[in-house]
Structure 1
């Protein structure tokens, strides 16, 4: 299979492997925006604790929003344009809206006056402006911004991983076939409910809920309420099993046998075994010096 585009987080080992193994075959590697935005937010929070840098708290949401806009407004994923748009933020917060980059010569917003202004501009050359520029211009961050994914993100995959915990919680150990079956059920449930519509009130109005995510640190977000998940796939699955069993019980038993036979051996089977008496003897020898006569 030829992978045309791959979106991941900023794991450096994964990025190196993709660069060496896939990019040479025509794969474009992009980074998920949320992970980079989280990193930028942490850097701004740390810098805001420094003297004369408290205003970074006010600009933090706008900086993160600008990061998302940088990618979303560049659907073709042009790395030079995204870099120029990102760096223009440093000028924008100082009330400078004309830039010296031909790929993005001026800000795209309308004049900000009156009610559209809710934050004070940063003074050019001030401590807080220099600090923000040092954060936004870090070589590693700019390199990552050039690889922002303009269209697709990893949130749906992470939602599936979260759903898997309901079918296969980590605090419980399962056999290989037990885990295999639970992962299949999780995939069936996720695919069946992935296109749920927004819930509505009795009057036909869309329903919304106010949430307080932990990463917002007390901030709130409004999210549409989805319809309740459906489990009709389970009934269809059970009916299919009934039909197959009534048609050929032996065939179903043979399929189950094949699954059992193809189950891999436990990980502990690859370890070198030691005789139990020898292990007990070593244990007693190691603990004999602690015995008080």
Structure 2
């Protein structure tokens, strides 16, 4: 990550960061939260912070703590941050407004679409609104398309979004203020999947192990980001068929060139060098010193043994 940050600093250009948190377990029982920042143009991970539940008031609060630490670490490197893109968590929104007012804060379109879909599915369950379920996927796809092709112009985004009302009623050409319009028919989540390879959610790890496994996922991702789509000998793009449980239909997914792992050789080389350095252990430092998840210190073995015997 240091090499990536150094390269960006040398370019002397403001950067756009995409941030998101990933818990080590489903639901609200997470012990660890990994918050990562990805640079938009290169899609490389530039900062990762591991937060333990005992450092926060709740598992939900871990995302804010991780985000703040990660962003402060990047700022400390002297980089100029123009925009930060996150999910719509109220705590993150407040943090950006209060502590980083000079940074443009935007919401990730994927999370917005996810929230929109959830609301549409909820409405579709009401009596007389069943037909809305048939349009849910098309509506969310249309919103994504509007964001992708508005050229960062909010007025264009709004106009194209409202055009949905014409399309679903069978009206494919309409006039607004004298102008005639017509229909135009025609990720950090990937990185989180890489973390799953090194730190599966169904397995428990100590803090040091979780930190090491999380950091191993970074060079794996950064080395293989931007791979081209695989092609056949005839030069035809390759796809694979999968059944989407969300969409409830078969879809095509692009197949990409095989991953490389040159980073592993470099890590092994550095490991050998460090093991031959007599001062290696004294060079290890950590910004966060985790504590036990228990709310109070552990009593002596003798005390616990006496209590155990008293129950029999």
Q: Normalised by the shorter chain, which TM-score bucket?
A: 0.5 to 0.7
Cross-structure match for 2:160: 85
Q: 1:239 to 1:258 in 2, by over 3 A?
A: closer
Among 282, 291, 298, the residue aligned to 1:257:
282
For residue 170 of structure 1, report the CA deviation from its aligned partner. Answer: 3.3
* 1:135-284 to 2 correspondences below 5 Å: 155=187, 157-216=188-247, 218-242=248-272, 244=273, 249=276, 252-259=277-284, 262=286, 265-268=289-292, 272-273=296-297, 275-276=299-300
Conserved 8 A contact 1:177-1:263: no
* Unmatched runs of 5 consecutive residues or more in structure 1: 117-154
**Counterparts of 1:160 and 1:89, CA distance in 2:** 33
Is 1:21 the counterpart of 2:95? The answer is: no
**Counterparts of 1:99 and 1:282, CA distance in 2:** 81
Is 1:9 the counterpart of 2:87? The answer is: yes
TM-score, normalised with respect to structure 2:
0.62
**Counterparts of 2:220 and 2:205, CA distance in 1:** 19
* 1:50-69 to 2 correspondences below 5 Å: 50-69=126-145
Q: Deviations over 1:89-143 (max 9, x none)?
A: 223322454365x6x9553436x9xxx9xxxxxxxxxxxxxxxxxxxxxxxxxxx
For residue 52 of structure 1, report the CA deviation from its aligned partner. Answer: 4.1
Provide the aligned length of Structure 1 versus Structure 2: 232
Q: 1:44 to 1:199 in 2, by over 3 A?
A: same
Conserved 8 A contact 2:243-2:250: yes
* Unmatched runs of 5 consecutive residues or more in structure 2: 1-74
For residue 240 of structure 1, report the CA deviation from its aligned partner. Answer: 4.8
Is 1:41 the counterpart of 2:65? The answer is: no
Q: 1:225 to 1:43 in 2, by over 3 A?
A: same
**Counterparts of 1:12 and 1:199, CA distance in 2:** 41
Q: 1:279 to 1:190 in 2, by over 3 A?
A: same
Name the structure where helix makes up a greater proportion of residues: 1
**Counterparts of 1:207 and 1:158, CA distance in 2:** 22
- Higher-Rg structure is 1
For residue 210 of structure 1, report the CA deviation from its aligned partner. Answer: 1.7
Cross-structure match for 1:150: none
**Counterparts of 1:211 and 1:158, CA distance in 2:** 18
TM-score, normalised with respect to structure 1:
0.65
Cross-structure match for 2:183: 109
Name the structure where strand makes up a greater proportion of residues: 2
For residue 223 of structure 1, report the CA deviation from its aligned partner. Answer: 1.6
**Counterparts of 2:207 and 2:125, CA distance in 1:** 49
For residue 75 of structure 1, report the CA deviation from its aligned partner. Answer: 1.9
